[in-house]
A and B are shown apart, each in its own frame.
Chain A
Amino acid sequence: MGHLRGKLLPPALAIVFSMLLCGVALVISGANPLSAFGAMVTQVGKGSTLVDIVNSTGIYYIAALAVAIGFQMNLFNIGVEGQYRVAAVIAAVVGGSIALPPGIHTLVIIVVAALAGAAWAAIPAILKVTRGVNEVISTIMMNGLAIGLSAYLIRRDVFGELRGNNIRTAEIPESGWMPGISFGGGGTMFGFIFVAIALGVGYWVMMNKTRFGFELRASGESSTAASAGGVNAKKMVLVSMLLSGAIAGLISLPELLGRDHTFSLNFTAGIGFSGIAIALLGRNHPGGIAFGALLWAFLDKSGLALDNVGVPREIVTIMQGSIVLSVVVAYEVVRRFELAAEQRRVGRELGTVGGAA
């Protein structure tokens, strides 16, 4: 029980703290915090908000998993943002230019997206392994390049076409779509949500049950102990970065396969960065990440209701930021406290505290 408390207490404290913080911010700006929070909660039942939240949760979940794989071995893949952008445009181009039977067509798009994401991540990975380039710097730079590359690829003289006043890639034929579950006026849930769930299960199994997961965790905990234990650090950097990039490549697929069917200027950006925050919030645990993704999606979608009660929607951003900040602090405080408590417990059971060795 104490174990569970150590895991659940920090995020709970962080959320309460950030709600208080936002409450204060609201009061200062002259709004009523209670009515603001109330509006956000009631918004969930309105229109397609609930399904929107679920869809958004799935997308955030994939993004956070991609980040978490790197985090497990203290590898900061800030480049998820760029990886999924490049993967999205390439998957859209390939998907729109081939004709295959339903199912297979979808599968090919998924594989292409994963490969494109991995390939984009491979550049910083190889730089790190061969030249020792810090992955934070290189992935951030790759993010900049990704924006340029995607803009180039959808130019009309390359793969793009003009539709209205929007530039986009050729539409993926229906055989490449992934059907969703329709709730009529309640919206349509992306079919890719189930892939996201499967990814979460796979991630858990990999981390806890496989040799690769062990080596990943050992590398993250202590790179020196891992190398003495025979873990090849360079291989781990390369593999985990590629894996992270491959999963990052899937981030845009729920929307691409389930709704947009094309890569356009309306592309949803910024999910990679949210993924970093959510992975931190969920402590790289598949369950924790799911909760974090849900919270993020809820704040995003029901935050729309704030405009109706005359509160600036940006308060949600403040809340997300303060949650991440306080959760990081809370985890560290609780971690130290728990370790000391554990040592005290061991000492007590062995009768070593306060005198004897």
Chain B
Amino acid sequence: MSSSTSARTDDPPAVVLTGITKRFPGVVANSDVHLTVRRGEVHALCGENGAGKSTLMKILYGMQPPDEGTIEVNGEQVRFRTPSDAIKAGIGMVHQHFMLADNLTVQENVVLGAEALHGIGQKARKRIIELSGKTGLNVDPGVLVEQLGVADRQRVEILKVLYRGAKVIILDEPTAVLVPQEVNELFDTVRGMQEQGYTFLFISHKLDEVRAIADSVTVIRRGTTVGSADPKTVSSRQLAEMMVGSELPSPETRESTVTDKVVLDVRGLKLMTPDGSRPILDDVDLVVRSGEVVGIAGVEGNGQTELVETVMGMRKAGSGTITLLDADLTKLGTLARREAGIGYVPEDRHRHGLLLTQPLWYNRILGYQTRKPTSKGIWLDTDGAKKDTERIVADFDVRTPGIDVPAAALSGGNQQKLVVGRELSGDPKLLIASHPTRGVDVGAQALIWDEIKRARAAGLAVLLISADLDELIGLSDTIKVMLRGRLVADADPNTVTPEDLGSAMTGAGATSASVQETGTAHGTAVVEEGAN
């Protein structure tokens, strides 16, 4: 590996970004970013959520033009107007969220949009099989993408950019959707491809992964590059300090505040796919007590979203009961459930949490249109809503010039603080928090964690769904693992490691005493399915 990199040191670097500045109103922008990626290396770009990594990559991939600065590829200055310009220059991007059509085959997905290269027939198929080996994808190109697991889908994404002739591959948070075991496989693939001369730009905020895979690291903070480091010598702590500029916040909760008072009691909850062919939620039993945070771990797409939306009444359960304190919520609509005392921080604040073009105070009313202080009977209480919005802005440190600006003008972290502040008002009994700190900056993350902890100490029951295993382990009193619509295992957050959780999440079964499978019959079935 080292021979391949040293042999190429005389060549111009694969990618050089010089003085990139992007003014991007309201949210994190890039300012004077410098980045040099040598040919044949794995270069990690590190930074906290919201530090500006994705913006930078969008600039490099031609999705957004920089306001200032230059991009050089192989020593030549280039100017990308669209992603296809970047592709022509040999740059490919694997997005964090897969861009695949489930109902098409692997081959169709790969060829889609690049039909001109090798047609859509046998020639394309041959080329795909040839490239498949490089990515470690061992499936027939004729297989439907919907039949593939997450790791294989990611390989299809990599295959797509290879097929288009990429030599420099941007991986945008590729491990976010993978469990630890799959991460190792991905890294093997990356190393193998690196030896064949491919260059990788690896975007991540997970320091252990960065140190495991990267040949060099550039750290980005608050939109600008703050330095480079050698991953062989730098410690995680030093990297973390470069990223944050100060101490990292910790999700750790101290003494337990769990009581015996059951707040949420879900029994036998079932939900079928719209066509009724298979269950999305299969016989889910769940209890959340006052003062308790119950965390749900699971690879995305295993029913967590649906569980939350069913408890919220946004989806109709096929069978089962939902009880909040003494009230039976099973037959009630979303509004009545909210009125009964459920606060809801949705996983996608733009789609489910906010009215983006409306002012902050108008957003305060959403979900509370029947309650004080935002309404009186059939009338809205705009004064009350405004006053209470001022309170949230002050208490939750929402950085805004006023409560009359539209929600869209705030940065992600501030929008999220507003949502969390709103959902913690009105004295809820249960808070459902889906990925409460996804895509927010470190400051907002620490504040949101603190507020959840404080509310928990005051007796709030919390149902937490998160893909961030550190957050899940740090905040939860109880962790349940969700797989294919079932709660398959319990884990003890005091002793469990992310690796243990990861193996339970993929259905590989319990690998440690901290994870206990629930329901033997389910457990064995899962192990069998996980094995193939």
Query: A residues near B, CB below 8 A?
Result: 208-215, 217-218, 221-222, 224-232, 339-340, 342-347, 349-350, 352-357
For the complex of A and B, the 3 pairs showing the least CB-CB separation, nearest first, are: A230-B335, A343-B25, A355-B31
* In the bound complex, CA of A210 to CA of B357 (Å): 19
The reply to whether A357 and B335 form a contact with Cβ atoms under 8 Å apart is: no
The interface residues of chain B lying within 8 Å CB-to-CB of A222 are 351, 354-356
Kindly identify, within residues 23 to 39 of chain B, every residue whose CB is under 8 Å from any CB belonging to chain A: 23, 25-29, 31-32
Residues of chain B lying within 8 A (CB to CB) of residue A232? 333-335
Given contacts A222-B356, A230-B369, A342-B409, contact A357 B380 (CB under 8 A): no
B residues in contact with A349, CB < 8 Å: 401
CB-based contact B366/A225 at 8 Å: yes
A225 touching B411, Cβ below 8 Å: no
Q: Are A339 and B411 in contact (CB under 8 A)?
A: no
CA A221 – CA B362 in complex, angstroms?
12
User: Can you report 27 residue pairs joining A to B where beta carbons are below 8 Å apart?
Assistant: A211-B369, A221-B357, A222-B351, A222-B354, A225-B351, A225-B354, A225-B366, A227-B334, A228-B314, A228-B334, A228-B367, A229-B367, A230-B335, A230-B337, A231-B369, A339-B408, A340-B25, A342-B406, A345-B409, A346-B400, A346-B410, A347-B26, A352-B411, A354-B23, A355-B31, A357-B50, A357-B223
Residues of B with C-beta under 8 A to A215: 369
Instruction: Given A210-B379, A346-B405, verify A353-B356 contact (CB < 8 Å).
Output: no
B:401-444 near A, CB below 8 Å: 401, 405-406, 408-411, 441
Q: Contact at A211–B378, with CB atoms within 8 Å?
A: yes
User: In angstroms, how far is the closest chain A Cβ from the Cβ of B425?
Assistant: 14
Q: Is B346 part of the binding interface, using a Cβ–Cβ cutoff of 8 Å?
A: yes
CB neighbours (8 Å) of B224 from chain A are: 355
Interface membership of B253, Cβ < 8 A: no
Query: What residues of chain A lie closer than 8 Å to B400, measured between beta carbons?
Result: 346, 350
CB atoms of A357 and B23 under 8 A apart: no
By a CB distance below 8 angstroms, the chain A residues around B25 are: 340, 343-344, 346-347, 353
A231 to B27, CA, bound (A): 30
Roughly how many angstroms separate A154 CA and B356 CA in the complex, as a whole number? Answer: 50
- Assess whether B54 is interfacial by the CB under 8 Å rule: no
CA distance A44 to B358 in the complex (A): 40
- Chain A residues positioned under 8 Å from B410 (CB to CB): 346
Q: Given that A342-B409, A350-B401, A357-B51 are known contacts, is A230 also in contact with B333, CB under 8 Å in the complex? A: yes
Minimum distance in angstroms from A224 CB to a CB of chain B: 5
B461 within 8 A of A: no
Residues facing A in B297-356 (CB within 8 A) are: 312, 314, 333-339, 344, 346, 351-356
A343 to chain B, nearest CB (A): 3
Whether A230 contacts B26 in the complex (CB less than 8 A), given A350-B399, A354-B21, comes out as no
- Which residues of B in the span 380-413 have a Cβ within 8 Å of any Cβ on A? 380, 382, 399-401, 405-406, 408-411
Q: Smallest Cβ distance from B333 to chain A, in angstroms?
A: 6
Give the residues in chain A near B378, CB-CB below 8 Å: 210-212
Q: Which residue of B lies closest to A344 (CB)?
A: B25
CB of A348, distance to nearest CB on chain B (Å): 9
Are B357 and A339 in contact (CB-based, < 8 A)? yes
**Chain B: minimal CB distance from A244 (Å):** 19
| In the complex, chain B residues whose CB is within 8 Å of the CB of A346 | 25-26, 400-401, 405, 409-410
Spell out B's residues near A (CB within 8 Å): 21, 23, 25-29, 31-32, 50-52, 222-224, 312, 314, 333-339, 344, 346, 351-358, 365-367, 369-370, 375, 378-380, 382, 399-401, 405-406, 408-411, 441
A-B pair number, CB within 8 angstroms: 132
Q: Do A211 and B333 form a contact, CB below 8 Å, given A222-B351, A352-B28, A356-B222?
A: no
Q: Which residues of A contact B369 (CB under 8 A)?
A: 211, 214-215, 229-231
Q: How distant is the Cα of A232 from the Cα of B333 in the complex, in angstroms?
A: 8
Cβ B408 vs Cβ A230 within 8 A: no
- Say yes or no: B401 contacts A354, CB within 8 Å: no
Instruction: Report whether A227 and B314 are in contact in the complex, using a CB–CB cutoff of 8 Å.
Output: yes
- List chain A residues, Cβ under 8 A from B222: 355-357
* Residues from chain A with Cβ under 8 Å of B411 in the complex: 352, 357
Q: Which residue of A lies closest to B399 (CB)?
A: A350
The reply to whether B441 and A209 contact each other, CB–CB distance below 8 Å, is no
A224 touches which one: B223, B351, B370 (CB < 8 A)?
Answer: B351
Asked whether A214 lies within 8 Å of B31 as measured between CB atoms, the reply is: no
Closest to A232 in B: B333
Q: Which interface residue of A210, A214, A228, A343 has the most chain B CB atoms within 10 A?
A: A228
Asked if A357 meets B409 with Cβ closer than 8 Å, knowing A209-B379, A211-B375, the reply is no
Q: How far is the CB of B263 from chain A (nearest CB, A)?
A: 19
Most buried by B among A231, A340, A343: A343
**Bound CA–CA A220/B312 (angstroms):** 21
Interface centre among B31, B314, B358, B366 (most CB of A within 10 A): B366
State which of A209, A228, A350, A352 has its C-beta within 8 Å of the C-beta of B352: A228
Nearest chain A residue, comparing its CB with the CB of B366: A229
Contacts of A354 in B (CB 8 A): 21, 23, 29, 31
> In the complex, what residues of A have CB within 8 A of residue B354's CB?
222, 225
Q: Give A213 to B378 CA distance when docked, in angstroms.
A: 10
Please indicate the chain B residues that have their CB under 8 angstroms from the CB of A231 in the complex: 334-335, 369
Q: Which residues of chain A are within 8 angstroms of B312 by Cβ–Cβ distance?
A: 228
- Closest Cβ of chain B: how far from A332's Cβ, in Å? 13
Residues of A within 8 A of B336 (CB): 230
Distance in Å from the Cβ of B10 to the closest Cβ of chain A? 35
Contact partners of B375 in chain A: CB under 8 A = 211
* The residue from A212, A226, A353 contacting B23, defined by CB atoms under 8 A apart: A353
**In whole Å, how far is B293's beta carbon from the nearest beta carbon of chain A?**
21
Least CB distance, A30 to chain B, in whole angstroms? 45
Chain B contacts for A224, CB-based, 8 A = 351-352
List of B residues within 8 angstroms of A347 by Cβ: 25-26
* Chain B minimum-CB-distance residue to A223: B351
B409 / chain A contacts, CB cutoff of 8 Å: 339, 342-343, 345-346
- In the complex, residue of chain A having the shortest beta-carbon distance to the beta carbon of B48: A357
B373 to chain A, nearest CB (A): 14
In the docked arrangement, what's the CA distance between A342 and B358, Å?
Answer: 12
